A = this chain, B = another copy of it.
Amino acid sequence: MEIEIATIGGYEEVGRQMTAVRAGDDVVIFDMGLNLSKVLIHDNVETERMHSLDLIDMGAIPDDRVMSELEGDVKAIVPTHGHLDHIGAISKLAHRYDAPIVASPFTIELVKGQIEGEEKFGVDNELVKMSGGESMEIGNGLELEFVHVTHSIIDAINPVLHTPEGAIVYGLDKRLDHNPVLEDPIDMQRFREIGREGEGVLAYIEDTTNAQKKGRTPSESVARTHLKDALQSMEDYDGGIVATTFSSHISRVSSLVEFAKEIGRQPILLGRSMEHYSGAAERMGYVDFPDDLGMFGHRKSVDRAFKRIMNEGKDRFLPVVTGHQGEPRAMLTRMARGETPYELESGDKVVFSARVIPEPTNVGQRYQAEKLLGMQGARIYDEIHVSGHLNQEGHYQMLQALNPKHVIPAHQEMEGYAPYVNLAESEGYKVGRDLHITRNGNRIQLVE
């Protein structure tokens, strides 16, 4: 059976991930993501109303025109988890394909949100839920399996396409976490089995985000211990404490909610995306928040919540808000500019449970947000976080577990592939033979 991989997007950048695998006459698409930074650099761009081709020209969504060169029918669109760089182009591209969107339940829920927000295209692909540990027949003699992995969002999976020529493991976005906070540990056992079963692994597409980082990505439980230490140390403080983190990072939000309670404060989630993600997770039973946990997304209800906090006493609450990167329009930045009813005072604490994404525009905005917070007397706690991506040791372990015939580094620009190439070469792979440095829009024929 012919096996071919089209590396459509996310092979020259982090963002707008999209990969297609053709096995015989059947094609499966993994991820359809958005590169948000390509949107934000322009003023006043509203993607909701934009046409796909314009977004492709901007480099914001994958250029899927290479799909016409793949001789086969798309049988499924498979986003691996709910981050925008993996699902954010579905509303712009999925309607072109007559195929269901297959994803884990939480991811499906977030995909729904994307589709509902879309104003240009009508997307009515079937939405099919499948959880980690499950699989389905697909196309002609193929099987699609989801392996449960751990990442900075819940319900992430690595899809595996089993073909007669061996398995194709699409390995994007995970950390080897044996002690995550809300979920099961990563299913390394299953990866090891896949590495030994049948024809073994034909190809492994790997998330190389952190390939330059030594050692092992710490478990979410390390971030949790760090966060607990920080919040408990504030137990006696009788002023304002505010925290911010990635809205989609349900485990972290859950820890913040829990520790707020422990130090005698009422947690409250504020900001549109904070409400969006945590609301979905709670509705679906992924997390068991306290009954009295407030979540507010709309400007008016947020301001009402802030007024209530100011009336009842800042020392009784712990708002968890959006704005961890200093985004100009996020809640924390508005607080820093004094645009909300919440009044910061000297000694108030602001906890960034996130790292600064090291891109200069971003660094500048975060700096400015911290400056503005500081001008109001706030004290910053930063970098209480662990990455959601594999460091070098995780890469070694995955190669050893899967023992793939071909390896395709992904999720980076070429500069980011370099340390992964060194690592994979030390395991016996060779560029140009079985280690494929590729670019957006290329096709790699694995079996002819």
Residues of A within 8 A of B (CB): 41-43, 176, 178-179, 214-216, 218-219, 221-222, 225-226, 229-230, 232-233, 337, 346-347, 349, 351, 359-368, 371-372, 375, 377, 379-384, 392-393, 396, 413-415, 417-419, 421-422, 425-426, 430-432, 437-439, 442
Contact = CB atoms under 8 A, between A and B. Distances in A.
Given A43-B337, A179-B229, 17 more contacts: A41-B375, A214-B381, A215-B351, A215-B379, A215-B381, A215-B383, A216-B233, A216-B381, A218-B230, A233-B393, A349-B393, A360-B364, A361-B368, A414-B414, A415-B415, A431-B437, A432-B439
A85 B69 CA distance: 45
A233 B218 CA distance: 10
A225 B215 contact: no
A42 B338 CA distance: 11
Contact of A368 (B41, B218, B367, B437): B41
Given A178-B233, A218-B229, A432-B438, A365 B364 contact: yes
Given A230-B216, A442-B432, A381 B364 contact: no
A396 B419 contact: no
Nearest to A384: B215
Nearest to A235: B178
A402 B382 CA distance: 26
Contact of A413 (B42, B222, B380, B418): B418
Nearest to A419: B415
Nearest to A225: B225
10 closest Cβ pairs, A-B complex: A364-B364, A215-B381, A415-B418, A360-B367, A414-B418, A225-B225, A214-B380, A361-B364, A219-B229, A360-B364
Nearest to A425: B439
8 contacts: A41-B375, A178-B232, A215-B379, A216-B233, A233-B393, A361-B371, A363-B364, A418-B418
Q: Which of A42, A179, A216, A437 has the most CB of B within 10 A?
A: A216
A404 to B, nearest CB: 18
A70 to B, nearest CB: 17
A429 B164 CA distance: 36
Contacts of A222: 222, 225-226, 229
Contacts of A364: 360-365, 367
A215 B431 contact: no
Contacts of A381: 214-216, 393
Contacts of A419: 415
A157 to B, nearest CB: 21
A140 to B, nearest CB: 29
Contacts of A43: 337
B414 A421 contact: yes
A325 to B, nearest CB: 11
Contact of A371 (B41, B178, B218): B41
Contacts of A42: 337
A431 B413 CA distance: 13
A215 B41 CA distance: 23
A337 B42 CA distance: 8
A266 to B, nearest CB: 22
A412 to B, nearest CB: 10
Contacts of A417: 414, 418
Contacts of A367: 359-361, 364
B233 A229 contact: no
Contacts of A41: 368, 371-372, 375
Contacts of A425: 439
Contacts of A366: 360
A214 B380 CA distance: 6
A416 B380 CA distance: 19
Contacts of A377: 426
A398 to B, nearest CB: 13
Nearest to A220: B229
A125 to B, nearest CB: 32
A384 B439 CA distance: 34
A408 to B, nearest CB: 13
B439 A430 contact: yes
